[in-house]
Structure 1
Amino acid sequence: MATTKTASKSTTKTEVKIGISDSTRELNFECESTQSEVIAKVNEAIKSSGVLALSDTKGREVLVPASKISYVEVGESSDRRVGFANQ
């Protein structure tokens, strides 16, 4: 029986990690925004001393006070692989 791979979604997801000051944990989530959009929102929040607001892929809102942001890591999300086979 032959199998075919289905085409992956054409939407690019961005992985975001936000370090919070005075906290040992980081926020880690995926969003539909591009890397440049996320960076622009981070810069604007820090510049205005406001709140960074991002939406994740599950529709939840992530809000972080700009004064508590230690670092932000932004990168393209990769597909999760399951199993041990080499491809």
Structure 2
Amino acid sequence: MEIKIGVQHTPREIALESGQSAKEVETAVAEALSGESKLLSLTDEHGRKILVPADRIAYVEIGEPAVRRVGFGAL
């Protein structure tokens, strides 16, 4: 799962690939934004934890990973 997180007052977004499902990510974001948790905590596909303060989240984009095409086949 490809996840992009926009952080307030920061020009760059956080981009990561995660093994978590879209529903798990959405639940974690909802809990962070509702105030149940002060941090949004996600784990990337290498096992690293990404922690973002919930009050600094501008947006979260959840999408499927891009498939890389190899060769000279038709687009």
Q: TM-score, normalised by structure 2?
A: 0.88
Q: Secondary structure at the match of 1:42?
A: helix
- Give structure 1 stretches of 5+ with no counterpart: 1-13
Out of 73-82 and 52-61, give the one that drifted further: 73-82
Equivalent residue, structure 1, for 2:22: 35
AA partner of residue 16 (structure 2): F
In the TM superposition, residue 59 of structure 1 has moved relative to its aligned partner by: 1.3
CA-atom RMSD in angstroms = 1.5
Percent sequence identity over aligned pairs? 45
Other structure's SS at 1:29 match: strand
Report which structure shows greater RCO (CA 8 Å, sep ≥6). Answer: 2
Q: Which runs of 4+ in 1 moved over 4 A?
A: none
User: TM-score, normalised on structure 1?
Assistant: 0.77
Rg bigger for which structure? 1
Deviations 1:24-78 (A, max 9, x none): 0000111011111100000001112510000001111110000010000001113
Q: Distance in 1 between matches of 2:10 and 2:70?
A: 31
Q: Which runs of 5+ in 2 are unaligned?
A: none
Aligned length: 74
Aligned position for 2:10: 23
Q: State how far apart, in whole Å, the 2-side matches of 1:50 and 1:78 are.
A: 31
